[in-house]
Amino acid sequence: MNDETTASEQSVRTVHSDRRAAFIALAAWLVPGLGHALMKMWGRALACLLCVGALLLCGAGMRGNLFTWETPDPFSRLGFIADAGSGLFYWVARSVEVGGPDVSHSDGDYGTRLIAAAGVLNLLAALHAYEAARGRKA
């Protein structure tokens, strides 16, 4: 009887832990560094926020292309996934983008790559926050 109670309590804890980890991963994706901040990993949280923010700011300042989902080209959709990986920063950059992209010059082309790198870096940071919340990494 005692073993059954222990097993059910552990199952409830596992479900609670998985939900918490999923919430932390979602928060880490939406706002870079927030997932680590929720776990009180202040150094990593600040590093994620500053790195993703700086990459996106530099890329947008170089007038890099911010991809959208509404395109028939599958490579542009992959570009959107990479760009949207930066969370809310992507939509802020889209809303303040007034001049549009300028990929005819090398600055704009490099800016496109910096924006994609910001998104991929944030996705990796969100994955790390998820794994840390589950207790697999520190």
Question: Average per-residue pLDDT in the chain?
Answer: 86
For residue 65, the model assigns a pLDDT of: 85
| Mean local confidence (pLDDT), 25-43 | 95
Residue 138 placed within a domain = no
Asked if 110 and 65 touch (Cβ cutoff 8 Å), the reply is no
Residue 89 placed within a domain = yes
Residue 100 placed within a domain = yes
In the chain, the number of structural domains is: 1
Q: How far apart are CA 118 and CA 83, in angstroms?
A: 7
Residue 124 placed within a domain = yes
Determine what percent of the chain is predicted with pLDDT higher than 90: 54
Model-level pTM greater than 0.75?
Answer: yes
Residue 136: pLDDT band (50, 70, 90) is confident
For residue 26, the model assigns a pLDDT of: 96
Token output for 42: 């202040």
Q: Which residues contact 113 (CB under 8 A, 6 or more apart)?
A: 59, 64
Query: What torsion, rounded to 10 degrees, do the Cα atoms 112, 114, 120, 125 define?
Result: -150
| Mean local confidence (pLDDT), 105-132 | 91
Residue 126: pLDDT band (50, 70, 90) is very high
Residue 38 placed within a domain = yes
Domain extent for 125 = 2-133
For residue 25, the model assigns a pLDDT of: 95
Asked if 41 and 132 touch (Cβ cutoff 8 Å), the reply is yes
Per residue in 7-31, pLDDT (tens digit) is 555 665 666 788 999 999 999 999 9
Return the number of other C-beta atoms located less than 10 Å from residue 20's C-beta.
14
pLDDT of 107 strictly over 80 = no
Residue 122: pLDDT band (50, 70, 90) is very high
